[in-house]
Structure 1
Amino acid sequence: MPRQQAPTKNDGADSDKDALLAARLGWTTLRLIALLFALTGIASLIGCDAQAQRDTTNPATIDWQSLEFKCSHQAELLPKPDAQAEEWYRQANDLRQAGHKSGNQDYSEQSFALTLKAAERGHVKAMNNLVRAYIDGDGVEIDEAKGVEWAEKLIKRNVGLGYYHMGTFLQRGIGVQEDRNMALTYFRKGADLGNAQSQLVTGDNLRKAVAQSAPGERDRGFSIARAMFECALEQGSADAGYALARQYIGYEKKPREALMPYQAAARLGHDQSLFDLWTAFKEGDGVDKDKFRAACYERLWRDRSEGKAEKLLDIDRVCPLPPGQVRGD
């Protein structure tokens, strides 16, 4: 089954550059150092071969207190926009969708203009759309520097989306110098501020980093990663549900535990989760063979493949999981 590609190891971050960037974005240097100490210790494990990981994984190098995670949902933390900004934002979305459907560039440009007006009044979702517009060239010429600028404005408002964008820019070298270790710091901050994408990325990096650690440290890392995936799934991230299922199967060897997150991801329209449920019951992979459930998931998967359904909110009624196989090793 498809696996996410592990981030490659960076040669190291320049501490003076990190401090300057932190000050520019309004972080306290002390908090940045604490996060970097925790996450660059983890990052140093990623990309090494298994023997090297076993030789270098030292609990003393990992600041577990900084890595502890408490779930929060981004929607509950976002500032409420004023009525005028919200109206411009909604109009912009309608125009953007019309432009994408019709191919009419005028709609996209009008959408961008309204998005900019809403963003300038502090509408967080409009600010997020501006970041994407400048990076993708949607209704405006591509301008990576402007994309970074609006991500920074989100960060100054302490919005998780901003940290996710900046982490992505640092990871890929978009508008800034590539720095994958620093990117982990931004993803982690975004995760703490409730951003589901950041929770997914951070959890994925963490589980890969501790996979070859001693059992106690590995299990502790896995527990934090699971908490991040669960939190992102609660916010509607189908990819997080799939990641949690793969955590149970690929890392913890608990295939029955994977059924519930697979089901949750499938409910949100995740095709690979539907396919995996189909094959699991068809082949008896970690669960009892069940040709009727296999046929049910196959039908839903084919419906999705043919564009007959976006989400499958009634999946628990149509294809319920077998109660006796939902939990347990």
Structure 2
Amino acid sequence: MLLNTPKISSWMTLSAFAISTALIPACSLSNLPRNMTLKTFDPHREEFTCNYEKSAEPALNQEAEAWFRKGLALTSFDLWPDDREFSKAAALWSKASEKGHWQATLNLASLYISGNGVVKDTERAVQLVEEAMRQGVPKAFDLMGIYHINGIGVKQDATRAYAFWALAAEMGSADAQAYLGAKLTAAYDNPEGTVWANSTIGHKMLECSYAQENGNGASELGLRLDLPAQQERSLRVYHEGVKFGSKVSANHLTVDFRGGLTSEGPRLDLDRAERYSAINDMLHLNPDLRLPNLDKVLPLPPAILPYWDGDKQSLIDGAKPVKTVSLDDIKPSPASLREGRAHIPDGFVLPDEPQGGHLVQHLHTDAVMGGYWLAQLRKPVTPRQVAWNTAQVPMRYEIGEAFDKIPEGLTKDDGVFRFHYLGTPVPQAPEAKYAPDWRVPQGVMREVPMPARELHSTGLLPASATGIWHGSVDPGHPLAKVFNQWYRQSYVEEGQAFPDPRDRGLDISPKDIQWRWLDQANRPQPSGRKEISIRNFSQVETTQTNS
């Protein structure tokens, strides 16, 4: 999540004079990024090269990344507004920003604009954005344009705002590309309305933004493709926009499937409209959501819709990214699953040092301390003796209770046999318990158990199994930073082709993509429909506990 300031239209519009004249102040502050010399915005430009912002973004310090993530968790849209702790997030993002974490820097700037968690200070916000600009972050130049159009911390100047956006778009800012691309696809020039007729460049910008999976880019492109000859692509682009988290795209498809927008007549499908409407509501509550597995719960026609229980959360859970976790990580500790003397309540562990000190007792005695005792051979020599010692687990005995007889298989020749006191269980430290992926508490990712089998495929082959697949390219690939993302997942039916990134303009051959199967296929039903199978971490834990 990057907190941001929307591009709010101000009273100041671009005149024809302002478009053709660059106003570059010459003063002692001219060396500041806010006052940098800018190339004049040209709405009738004839060339545009598509660049990707992730290629330009600097690497992040890992310690700073941890602080940044904690700040995100404290301000997550998945929390009630009153539960969001902006002051703590501001402190964490300040530490991260000092280590060059540009995302934390821009988030902190937005806090200074809103006054959440800090004293409102627009000058400090501008300074922070300038820090990110010095790092070459495209988003920072886009944000500086927003500050100029609205006069936030700087003199209101639409000319410089558009110049900053043009620069940001060239650097790869997907938001700037979407915004300017929409402005350049008008039927005629209207500088007072800040729109111009340059569809060729406008569409190039929108396609570039869409290739970067930008929700604004998808919704703007889908709108401009909504013509009879491009109707089906428009539908797919809007659908992809929903995957990118675009509330506008979800709203458009809601109306469309209610029969209200299609230029060639009504596309009536109330079941699909209901699902897009539910997703629209959830995206309103949590704009951080990404839904790459949307086809699992809401495939485009003519595919049959799977069964849905009507709960909005289950719909979102079925569409959001998943992270596989080993059952050894998510199930309760093995000791909590043991029976009889060996059982230790879940959430408890034996102490590092037993209460009362270390005690050792012979076999034919009664326990002098209540608690857990471990049977061990004193000097194991043979492989069988070593294996026996390793296989033993702590067993609980009450004070005065006789120890068990020597197990079968051990004889006098195996040496001295003793019981070692380990103490009584204590609560497990929170940091020692299983910690989920940081995106899970934010509600933007689900954890699921590791699939029972490993399946891999290249993008050239059809899917060998139905379910969610995660794609990646070699780290040395020129577009690895763009493609290799945590949400790079797709729900694919067995025998179907994997998504081809070239359909969105990314120059990545399917043969270069490695897909890994994550399971989570829809279960077939007697009716022919499919049931949305959702196995959350908590459900797996419950199942394991009751087994």
Same fold (TM over 0.5): yes
Question: What corresponds to 1:130 in structure 2?
Answer: 108
> How much has 1:311 moved relative to structure 2?
5.1
Question: What corresponds to 2:200 in structure 1?
Answer: 223
Question: What corresponds to 2:142 in structure 1?
Answer: 164
What is the one-letter code of the residue matched to 2:109? V
CA contact (8 A) 2:50 2:170 kept: yes
> How much has 1:173 moved relative to structure 2?
0.8
Looking at structure 2, the residues matched to 202 and 254 of structure 1 have their Cα atoms a distance apart, in angstroms, of 22
Looking at structure 2, the residues matched to 172 and 153 of structure 1 have their Cα atoms a distance apart, in angstroms, of 20
Looking at structure 1, the residues matched to 233 and 135 of structure 2 have their Cα atoms a distance apart, in angstroms, of 38
Q: Deviations over 1:133-177 (max 9, x none)?
A: 111112101100000111111111111111111100100111111
Q: How many residues align?
A: 282
1:77 and 2:56 matched: yes
> How much has 1:124 moved relative to structure 2?
0.9
- Percent identity among equivalent residues? 22
Looking at structure 2, the residues matched to 15 and 232 of structure 1 have their Cα atoms a distance apart, in angstroms, of 28
Which stretch of the first structure deviates more once superposed, 265-274 or 86-95?
Answer: 265-274
Question: What corresponds to 1:267 in structure 2?
Answer: 243
Q: Deviations over 1:29-58 (max 9, x none)?
A: 4xx3xx30xx2x53xxxxxxxxxxxxxxxx
Residues 92 and 232 (structure 1 numbering): CA distance in 2 closer, same or farther, change over 3 Å? Answer: same
Partner SS for 1:103: helix
Looking at structure 2, the residues matched to 5 and 128 of structure 1 have their Cα atoms a distance apart, in angstroms, of 18
Q: Which of 139, 149, 154 matches 1:176?
A: 154
Question: What corresponds to 2:272 in structure 1?
Answer: 297
Comparing both structures, which one devotes a greater share of its residues to helix?
Answer: 1
1:207 and 2:189 matched: no
CA contact (8 A) 1:85 1:121 kept: yes
CA contact (8 A) 1:259 1:321 kept: no
> How much has 1:121 moved relative to structure 2?
1.4
Residues 221 and 6 (structure 1 numbering): CA distance in 2 closer, same or farther, change over 3 Å? Answer: farther
> How much has 1:89 moved relative to structure 2?
1.8
Residues 131 and 253 (structure 1 numbering): CA distance in 2 closer, same or farther, change over 3 Å? Answer: farther
Looking at structure 2, the residues matched to 102 and 286 of structure 1 have their Cα atoms a distance apart, in angstroms, of 40
1:10 and 2:18 matched: no
Looking at structure 2, the residues matched to 141 and 284 of structure 1 have their Cα atoms a distance apart, in angstroms, of 45
Looking at structure 2, the residues matched to 171 and 88 of structure 1 have their Cα atoms a distance apart, in angstroms, of 32
Question: What corresponds to 2:95 in structure 1?
Answer: 117
1:92 and 2:71 matched: yes
Question: What corresponds to 1:50 in structure 2?
Answer: none
> How much has 1:239 moved relative to structure 2?
2.0
What is the one-letter code of the residue matched to 1:82? N
Question: What corresponds to 2:225 in structure 1?
Answer: 248
Looking at structure 2, the residues matched to 63 and 102 of structure 1 have their Cα atoms a distance apart, in angstroms, of 44
Looking at structure 1, the residues matched to 210 and 122 of structure 2 have their Cα atoms a distance apart, in angstroms, of 30
Q: Which of 289, 299, 302 matches 1:319?
A: 299
Please list, as runs of the form range in 1=range in 2, the aligned pairs for 1:224-239 lying within 5 A after superposition: 224-239=201-216
Residues 207 and 290 (structure 1 numbering): CA distance in 2 closer, same or farther, change over 3 Å? Answer: closer
> How much has 1:178 moved relative to structure 2?
0.7
Question: What corresponds to 1:46 in structure 2?
Answer: none
What is the one-letter code of the residue matched to 1:266? V
Looking at structure 1, the residues matched to 109 and 125 of structure 2 have their Cα atoms a distance apart, in angstroms, of 4
Looking at structure 1, the residues matched to 26 and 263 of structure 2 have their Cα atoms a distance apart, in angstroms, of 46
What is the one-letter code of the residue matched to 2:119? E
Comparing both structures, which one devotes a greater share of its residues to strand?
Answer: 2
Partner SS for 1:141: coil
Residues 147 and 288 (structure 1 numbering): CA distance in 2 closer, same or farther, change over 3 Å? Answer: same
CA contact (8 A) 1:274 1:298 kept: no
Residues 263 and 121 (structure 1 numbering): CA distance in 2 closer, same or farther, change over 3 Å? Answer: same
Looking at structure 2, the residues matched to 118 and 133 of structure 1 have their Cα atoms a distance apart, in angstroms, of 15
Q: Which one has the largest radius of gyration?
A: 2
Looking at structure 2, the residues matched to 197 and 178 of structure 1 have their Cα atoms a distance apart, in angstroms, of 20
Larger RCO: 1 or 2 (CA < 8 Å, sep 6+): 1
Q: Deviations over 1:234-278 (max 9, x none)?
A: 33322211100112238x985444222122113334344344335
What is the one-letter code of the residue matched to 1:286? S
> How much has 1:20 moved relative to structure 2?
7.4
